[in-house]
Amino acid sequence: MTNTDQSAYTLYYWTACQQFWGRAIGVVLTLDEAGADYTIREPKDAPTGEGEALFAHFRYPAITLPNGMTIGQTPAILQILGQTFGLAGQTEAEQFDCQQTVLDINDIFSDALSGKLADKPERATQWFELLSHKLKDHRFLINDAPTVGDFHAVFATEWVHRKYRTDAYNDFPALARWWQDICAHPSVHKMKNSGIAMLP
C-alpha cells in the first residue's frame, strides 16, 4: 500500500480501513497478493461525478481503477481485480467456477449475518458440504493457489465465526484444513496480525 494520490487503485471504505477491514477484506487481500499499487481512503473522498452518483454511492467498498472508472459491489470488484491479476482461476473452467464461488461465498456471508445459519444449522451444513466438495481435489477453493474466492471466503468465515459458531468447521476436515492454510498465507497472515480488527 502507498499513501500517495497517484496510486493505480484507490479503494474507498469506512475508516479507510484504519479501524476495521470489514467488507474490504477480500479486495485488500487481492490487491496485496497482486503486489498492486493502491491507496485506501474514506468514503467521503470518493469521486462524486454523475456516473458515480448513479451507482448508489452510499455503500462501500468502491474502487477507482487505473482507467478512471469507479466501481462498487464487492463481488464485481473482486471479479475485475481477479481477472486483471490472474487471481480468478487459470483455465476457463476454473474461471467460471471462481465466479460462482465468489457469489456462493457472498450468500454464506449473508446467511451468517442475517442469523439464518444459526436458525437453520442444516443450511450451514449444506454450505459447508458444498465448500468441502470444492476442496476435494485441490488445496484452495478453485485450484492449488488462493484466488478471489478464497479471499472473499476469509471475510465470510469471520462472519460465520462471529454469528454462527467459532468451531463451525470442526466437523468438516477439508474446510478446517483450508482455514488453517489460508490463515497462514502471507497476505492473510499479515492482515490478521495488522492490529486492525477484521470486522467492525
Ligand X SMILES: N[C@@H](CCC(=O)N[C@@H](CS)C(=O)NCC(=O)O)C(=O)O
Contact residues toward ligand X (CB under 6 A) are: 22-23, 58-60, 73-74
- Of 26 and 135, the one with the shorter C-beta distance to ligand X is 26
- Of 109 and 172, the one with the shorter C-beta distance to ligand X is 109
CA atoms within 13 A on the CB side of 68: 2
CB of 41 to ligand X, least distance (A): 14
Q: Is 39 helix (H, G, I), strand (E, B) or coil?
A: strand
CB of 155 to ligand X, least distance (A): 10
- Of 22 and 149, the one with the shorter C-beta distance to ligand X is 22
Cell of 110: 449473508
CB of 178 to ligand X, least distance (A): 22
* 179 contacts: CB under 8 Å, gap ≥ 6: 157, 169
- Of 15 and 125, the one with the shorter C-beta distance to ligand X is 15
- Tell me the C-alpha distance between 186 and 93, whole Å: 27
* 68 contacts: CB under 8 Å, gap ≥ 6: none
- Of 86 and 200, the one with the shorter C-beta distance to ligand X is 200
CB of 39 to ligand X, least distance (A): 19
CB of 106 to ligand X, least distance (A): 7
b/e per residue 160-193 (b: at least 16 CB within 10 A): bbebbeeebbeebebbbebbeebeebebbeebbe
